[in-house]
Chains A and B, each alone.
Chain A
Amino acid sequence: FVFTTNYFPWLTIIVFLPISAGSLLFFLPHKGNKLIKWYTICICIFELLLTTYAFCYHFRLDDPLIQLAEDYKWINFFDFYWRLGIDGLSIGPILLTGFITTLVTLAAWPVTRDSRLFHFLMLAMYSGQIGSFSSRDLLLFFIMWEFELIPVYLLLSMWGGKKRLYSATKFILYTAGGSVFLLIGVLGLGLYGSNEPTLNFETLANQSYPVALEIIFYIGFLIALAVKSPIIPLHTWLPDTHGEAHYSTCMLLARILLKMGAYGLVRINMELLPHAHSIFSPWLIIVGTMQIIYAASTSLGQRNLKKRIAYSSVSHMGFIIIGIGSITDTGLNGAILQIISHGFIGAALFFLAGTSYDRMRLVYLDEMGGMAVSIPKIFTMFSILSMASLALPGMSGFVAELIVFFGIITSQKYFLKPKILITFVMAIGMILTPIYSLSMSRQMFYGYKLFNAPSSYFFYSGPRELFVSISIFLP
């Protein structure tokens, strides 16, 4: 190993801590689930504190370049480096990951079956996500990307609803299919133009390619990332997966996995292939607009609560895509803000849906109703969150969407008429969003209905859930 930085290797520690600590889980004595839970939560909190500390003291906000960079030669003959580093783009997702994973472990307390494995997988995923957000090497990015698919697959296939195997298989097929394109793109980019494979982001960003080749690479990456994002024709794994998975898994999925797609879109497609990006961005915007409308109207037709939320997150991803496609700083900022804010809102919505499912044992919306009397706190949080999800001013979603709007408006690249049209259609999405989210909350909570379920279920509205929801709600 060649140690090239003067810093203490913060990032490596941050990346490795969860998985190594998680593997210790298997050596813990069999004393029941409580110990495992507390252990995992402690690790998560420690990790979060560590990350925050490292970022507070070693990260300068005014510096636009890569910081906390680390560079080790890993495999000599292949020129493969262990390169980590963060900049302003990735600091947000990393902190988000830390925060949410902590809350997810907290939310996953009711999981009793095989909780040791469950928590280990959680921690493994944690590592993978931070790794991919902070990697500065294309191949490393790819490896991390693949690395966290495995825990997700296991989480999906072992804990969840009745059709979980089906949806897990669907998930893995979709993402693996996307990964093929990603690998092709990575190798193509790395092997192009020189005898030695170059996989460093910086050198790659400065390289220029023939236009045709760049477009081909771009399409490859786009397909790979579109599966993860998801962008419309490739989104069908998402509702199935979300409909079946345990809600803590849903939180992780909604929160971070989707964001990885958007992150990759910015990181690879925008930074490495700027020319192709400017060629493709009108298409991206069109797809994004269609996605907003399409997913919002599909969401209306869903009967399953979680699927409805899942489609709503598909619809929200449309704003991110538009923001990325609008090639302005403003639009990009809006997209990043939307990544973060939707991360919070989506995760919280899934969490609330899950907790109310724990009580009601009902999945379909038309069976529900009148729950507000029995679970007033969840009702309150849910209505606040659906307000946030329809971008009520004062919530983070509003700022993000507004900035995306400005990004589109101020974008120099497009003509007047398409711009008006796109803004108009986006704004129609603004009308559809309250329709589905409010009718969801209406069907769940409003009205009056007597339940046969024993009241002991309702008693469980403990401080744990309250804490989780409040802390998600805070931003």
Chain B
Amino acid sequence: MEHADQYSWIIPFVPLPIPILIGMGLLLFPTATKNLRRMWAFPNILLLSIVMIFSLDLSIQQINGSSIYQYVWSWTINNDFSFEFGYFIDSLTSIMSILITTVGIFVLIYSDNYMSHDEGYLRFFAYMSLFNTSMLGLVTSCNLIQIYIFWELVGMCSYLLIGFWFTRPAAANACQKAFVTNRIGDFGLLLGILGFYWITGSFEFQDLFEIFNNLIYNNEVHFLFVTLCASLLFAGAVAKSAQFPLHVWLPDAMEGPTPISALIHAATMVAAGIFLVARLLPLFIVIPYIMNLISLIGIITVLLGATLALAQNDIKRGLAYSTMSQLGYMMLALGMGSYRAALFHLITHAYSKALLFLASGSIIHSMEAIVGYSPEKSQNMVFMGGLRKHVPVTQIAFLVGTLSLCGIPPLACFWSKDEILSDSWLYSPIFAIIAWSTAGLTAFYMFRIYLLTFEGHLNVHFQKYSGKKSSSFYSIKLWGKEEQKIINRNFRLFPLLTLTMNNNEQPYTIGGKKEARITITNFGYKKAFSYPHESDNTMLFPMLILLLFTLFVGAIAIPFNQEGMHLDILSKLLTPSINLLHQNSNDFEDSYQFFKNATFSVSIACFGIFTAFLLYKPFYSSVQNLNLLNSFVKRGPKRILLDKMIYLIYDWSYNRGYIDMFYSISLTKGIRGLAELTHFFDRRVIDGITSGVGITSFFVGESVKYLGGSRISFYLLLYLVYVFIFLVISYFILF
């Protein structure tokens, strides 16, 4: 078994040949490479599968009695300074590498179909493999410098992939935003690394932890400085995992192709921040402020992500905010010190979210044929609805993903989320209340997405009725649903709200225009009445596999009580690691506690789902529905207050919490202003001085030229003047 560990350094490098080969091929033999395009997917998947088998093997070893393997090569720069490169494998690494490879393989299979008509098919696969390489490198690296290197590489891959469709200006802006935001995090990371190097003189994790603990123990370090460095390190994780102040890039990152969103921006890369914090937890744990900071950031992100997800029209953006919120849960768990729960949630969330994204990609793929290829249309939930009949498999997959994310019992996320929630009670009641209520919110917004997408009628065709988009009031009364959507688009309001408003006025305003519009539609948009189709099998297959994962991944942490306590696989993997909160909670009453918590969380989730049903219920029979809503309206002033509240929340959410706006005003304008200023300074002052010197010398030269003009009389005059002055002076001196 030893040999596997000896050679495990090749893990990150196995997928590497593909991008190199594709890159060379594209540069040197473009046509030949392009002709072989579909061929390239196979070695890609093959290599990744090899890595997966390898990492499975590693993790099995880790389970059966494991230790930490480490191997280093050193790279000497000069005598007193050298880097060591190597790999470091422990349970964390093996978990992460399994996660990356499994999700990676399915996403690759999926994207073979998804991207098959794209011009940049090969480029896409090259980037993907490059990403896999660097991500695997990140999880196996053994020192901070190596982490930093792969960290940046991962960021670069993300940049390239977000900007994959570079002809879209939105994508161009998004990728730059993502890179710069991540770069701010990297800046913190680098400074933190340097600071810790300065304190301890080492980059290796284990040496670092040891030395640092000794220093803390002997009270030899400057405490403020240590806290500063640690929070800088944490800033790197904040940017990568899209936590609160630096989360702005993640929703915009959805401009990239959907498989990318599944792989990078839901499952793996955003988990890198969690990974980093988990890796450095021994370091952070001795600094209490940092732990508080981590959990605080986590809880803010949980809440923010959930509220922002409430009113997104774009299906992918909604999912992105939900990712952010779930990452906040993980951060929270880490901040509370429950390492196991965080990692568990990382795994389950990665599978569920990858499933959700792949399903939404499939929806987008089928919608694109109908509404056009602009992401504003094909990803817009306004146009969707009623897809259940047309894409049944996708619907099942999406439903399972949604339920899992909401925390409905047999599915994966239930176990992990429940663990985090029950841990949060032990940590702090306020955090716990926020976390619990956010669980309800999660259920609400996830079901909102689900219902808008799959239930009701397909809205695309009805959209055509209302010729111009601005003329929202012209839409037809009978079809209640679509009109609310249109208004939603135009007024940026909460759909329900506008519906209730319009119910009062529409019968009077529209009346006779109905028939005219319908007839127009009948001959104008016949072709548009095609319905979305289910995607190909190559896309459905990975979804189904991921669905199975989502169903059963939760099992790895279910305790098998009959064999004694603590025999679940995950705990076995993570036994050596830290568990702050419940060292002694493995008693029998634990299961009682567990059931109590579970029922509570499930009931909250169910409440959220129910609310979503109430608000976004598909409008099958319009009359009934109108009555229902009208009865709502009639409930009087209380309702108006509520409406205002809801309006406020949705406005906040729709404008992304105004944070983006704030950033763009303060930072972008600030930097532009600074650039203008320095440019001005450069041109006017620094250049001005030299130009001034030049001009002065020019004038001096001119005047000298004038003086030295060729007139004899002028010379004589000068001569006489000088003689006169001389005489006067000598006269004064003599007498």
Give A contacts to B, CB under 8 Å: 170, 173-174, 232-233, 235-236, 294, 297-302, 329-330, 333, 370, 372-373, 377, 380, 383, 387, 390, 392-394, 398, 402-403, 405-406, 409-410, 420, 423-424, 427-428, 430-432, 434-435, 438-439, 442, 445-448, 466, 470
Contact = CB atoms under 8 A, between A and B. Distances in A.
A232 B687 CA distance: 11
Given A372-B167, A466-B27, A423 B152 contact: no
Contacts of B175: 442
A85 to B, nearest CB: 23
Interface stretch (B182-190, B425-433, B456-464): B182-190
Given A297-B674, A333-B77, A387-B156, A427 B190 contact: yes
B492 to A, nearest CB: 27
A124 B671 CA distance: 43
B176 A300 contact: no
A393 B163 CA distance: 20
Given A233-B686, A430-B187, 13 more contacts: A301-B680, A302-B679, A329-B78, A329-B79, A333-B77, A387-B156, A393-B153, A398-B149, A403-B77, A435-B180, A438-B180, A446-B167, A446-B169
A364 to B, nearest CB: 14
Contacts of B169: 446-448
Contact of A297 (B168, B179, B671): B671
B440 to A, nearest CB: 38
Contacts of B156: 387, 392
Given A236-B686, A438-B176, A301 B78 contact: no
Contacts of A377: 27
Given A329-B78, A370-B167, A423-B191, A298 B184 contact: no
A387 B687 CA distance: 31
Contacts of A373: 167
A268 to B, nearest CB: 23
Contacts of A170: 690
Where chain A touches its partner, the secondary structure class is helix
B682 interface: yes
B167 A434 contact: no
Contacts of B167: 370, 372-373, 446-448
Contacts of B198: 409
A377 to B, nearest CB: 7
B187 A442 contact: no
Contacts of A431: 180, 183-184, 187
Contacts of A298: 675, 678-679, 682
A428 B232 CA distance: 13
13 contacts: A232-B686, A233-B686, A297-B678, A301-B676, A301-B679, A329-B80, A330-B81, A392-B156, A406-B194, A430-B187, A431-B184, A438-B159, A442-B176
Contacts of B168: 447-448
Contact of B687 (A236, A434, A447): A236
B646 interface: no
A302 B171 CA distance: 23
Contact of B81 (A398, A406, A427, A434): A406
A398 B145 CA distance: 11
A8 B672 CA distance: 58
B678 A447 contact: no
B513 to A, nearest CB: 38
Contact of B671 (A233, A300, A390, A423): A300
B180 A236 contact: no
Given A372-B167, A438-B180, A446-B166, A392 B152 contact: yes
A394 B153 contact: yes
B85 interface: no
**Which of B159, B160, B172, B190 is the most central at the interface, judged by chain A CB atoms within 10 Å of its CB?**
B172
A253 B79 CA distance: 34
Contacts of B194: 405-406, 409, 423
Contact of B675 (A236, A300, A446, A447): A300
B235 to A, nearest CB: 11
A333 B191 CA distance: 21
A297 B180 CA distance: 15
Given A173-B694, A377-B27, A392-B156, A430 B183 contact: yes
Nearest to B146: A393
B600 interface: no
B148 interface: yes
Nearest to A235: B686
Interface string B381-402: 0000000000000000000000
Given A300-B672, A392-B152, A446 B172 contact: yes
Contacts of B686: 232-233, 235-236
A330 B680 CA distance: 37
Contacts of B166: 372, 445-447
Given A394-B149, A438-B179, A446 B81 contact: no
B176 A424 contact: no
A409 B198 CA distance: 7
Given A297-B675, A393-B148, A430 B180 contact: no
B179 A434 contact: yes
Contacts of B223: none
Given A393-B149, A403-B77, A409 B190 contact: no
Interface in B644-698: 671-672, 674-676, 678-680, 682, 686-687, 690, 694
A329 B687 CA distance: 36
B29 interface: no
The 6 closest A-B pairs by CB, nearest first: A301-B679, A446-B172, A300-B675, A393-B149, A301-B675, A448-B167
Given A236-B682, A406-B81, A434 B183 contact: yes
Interface in B117-169: 145, 148-150, 152-153, 156, 159-160, 163, 166-169
Contact of A430 (B160, B173, B186, B687): B186
Contacts of B149: 393-394, 398
Contacts of B671: 297, 300, 432, 435
B560 interface: no
A403 to B, nearest CB: 7
Contact of B187 (A300, A302, A427, A438): A427
A333 B152 contact: no
A420 B229 CA distance: 11
Contacts of B613: none
B724 interface: no
Nearest to A232: B686
Contacts of A372: 166-167
B715 interface: no
A232 B195 CA distance: 29
A235 B125 CA distance: 44
Contacts of B184: 431
Contacts of A435: 176, 180, 671
A70 to B, nearest CB: 29
A63 B152 CA distance: 37
B176 A427 contact: no
Contacts of B148: 393
A126 B686 CA distance: 32
A322 to B, nearest CB: 14
B594 interface: no
A223 to B, nearest CB: 14
Contacts of A420: 195
B197 interface: yes
Nearest to A372: B166
Contacts of A236: 682, 686-687, 690
B27 A380 contact: yes
Nearest to A311: B682
Contacts of A380: 27
Contacts of A439: 176
A147 B202 CA distance: 49
A373 B119 CA distance: 11
Contacts of A299: 675
A442 B190 CA distance: 26
A356 to B, nearest CB: 15
Nearest to A369: B169
